[in-house]
Amino acid sequence: MGTPTHLEIALFGTASLLIALASGATRIELNSAQSYSSAGTTPDEAPVRDAVSTLQSWQKTHGINIPLRIMIRPTSRSFVYPPDEIDVMIDSIRTLGHCLRPGTDDGFVFGVLHDEQGVLSVDEEANKRLVHLASKMGLKCVFHRACDGILGERAQETLEAIRRCGFDGVLTAGGPHGGAVAQAERLREVRGIAADLGLELIVGGGVRSGNVQTLTGALTGGRGRLWFHSACLMVGEEGSERVDEEEIRGIRGYLQS
């Protein structure tokens, strides 16, 4: 791959946290319980504190720091937020940021878009406010898949705007047309741009053990920090947000090989 490749697991609540850790997750994205179908929303303070406590115990026992990233998304309606919802996001970062561990790669995942007569773009003013607040607390920020719909032919412009906002990375399937596998070649382009800008690329959108080889093959030889992102949920359990440990082991095993 040219650079180390890691696996971030998206959790919806903390019920599967220990399973994810034992199966090989190297970073955790935490969302509220029962929000998978909405692509994740902001968790409450209690599960964040529970997650941090579990991760601290894991580090003490295993000597491995597993970073925690918290989804900041007050609603699943849109990525274009009115001022009152931006205020909610600010309050969430302030509150949940005090639960996290500065300097350990902990942080947040969010993204605010601007709608100008139906044309979407990165809302630099709003994102800069949120990133600045998190950075003052010593915490990292990733722009999430809100950018998928605007990457398209505007990948350079969009990623430059994300970098100007101060984000450390970007989570994306590569564009608006399906999941990561369907856009593997576009992801190769996105990876190059992200590397030039100093952005970590987190590839998400239908990543599973059965297709990770295709994705890594498309990204072979690329530059920059690379992660894969998956919920790894159990297949055939409708409505379940329980992770499949064998699925995590399958992806992680391939990345390690």
Domains in the chain, CATH or no CATH each: 5-256 (3.20.20.380)
pLDDT at 1: 42
Distance CA 135, CA 78 (A): 25
The predicted pLDDT at position 12 comes to 97
- What pLDDT is attached to residue 4? 58
pLDDT of residue 152: 77
The structure's pTM equals: 0.95
- Tell me the residue type at 17: L
Give alpha helix (H) positions in 83-242: 83-97, 124-136, 148-151, 155-164, 184-197, 212-219
> CA 13 to CA 250: how far, in whole Å?
22
DSSP 104: T
**What one-letter code names the amino acid at 56?**
Q
**What's the pLDDT at 43?**
98
Q: What residues in the chain have per-residue pLDDT under 50?
A: 1-2
pLDDT of 146: 92
* pLDDT the model gives residue 217: 87
pLDDT at 219: 87
